[in-house]
Amino acid sequence: MDNCLFCKILKNEIPAKKIYEDDVVFGFVDIYPQAKTHLLFIHKSHTANINEMANDPKAIGEVFQAIQKYTRSESMEQEGFRVVTNLGPLAGQTVFHTHFHVLAGEKLGRFGS
């Protein structure tokens, strides 16, 4: 996708602080952190949002396996973390390459405000 910010990050056209990579998944630090730890995990194949990605359940599994691998390697399970994905304007989606926020490192607020 030529005009996609996260595809540009995947192509190294825009720098990002990489924290995870395998053949199909990329993880990096969010540029405007909303928690002490704020990471983004994306699949290397472009989809616009989670409902589009749902046509490719293997890809969803691959992203969640990457999150599992990373959070276990960083011993994040005991303290805990939150995985969030936004779709559309009400949820505040601003980048239209499906991404999973991983929020951690501090007590997180409740949803919906």
Does the protein bind Zn ion through residue 1 (CB under 5 A)? yes
Please tell me the distance from the alpha carbon of residue 29 to that of residue 37, in angstroms, as a whole number: 8
- Within 93-112, the residues that bind Zn ion by CB under 5 A are 97
Does the protein bind ligand 5GP through residue 93 (CB under 6 A)? yes
- Count of helix runs (H) and strand runs (E) in the chain: 3, 5
Closest approach of Cβ 15 to Zn ion, in Å?
A: 16
Q: Which helix (DSSP H) or strand (DSSP E) does residue 63 occupy?
A: helix 57-73
Asked if 10 contacts 25 with a C-beta cutoff of 8 angstroms, the reply is no
Does the protein bind ligand 5GP through residue 31 (CB under 6 A)? yes
**Sign of the alpha-carbon torsion through 38, 86, 9, 58:** positive
The site partner of 20 among Zn ion, ligand 5GP, none (C-beta below 5 to 8 Å per kind) is none
Does the protein bind ligand 5GP through residue 32 (CB under 6 A)? yes
- The tokens for 110 are 């409740």
The site partner of 7 among ligand 5GP, Zn ion, none (C-beta below 5 to 8 Å per kind) is Zn ion
Note if 99 is an active site residue. Answer: yes
Does the protein bind ligand 5GP through residue 30 (CB under 6 A)? yes
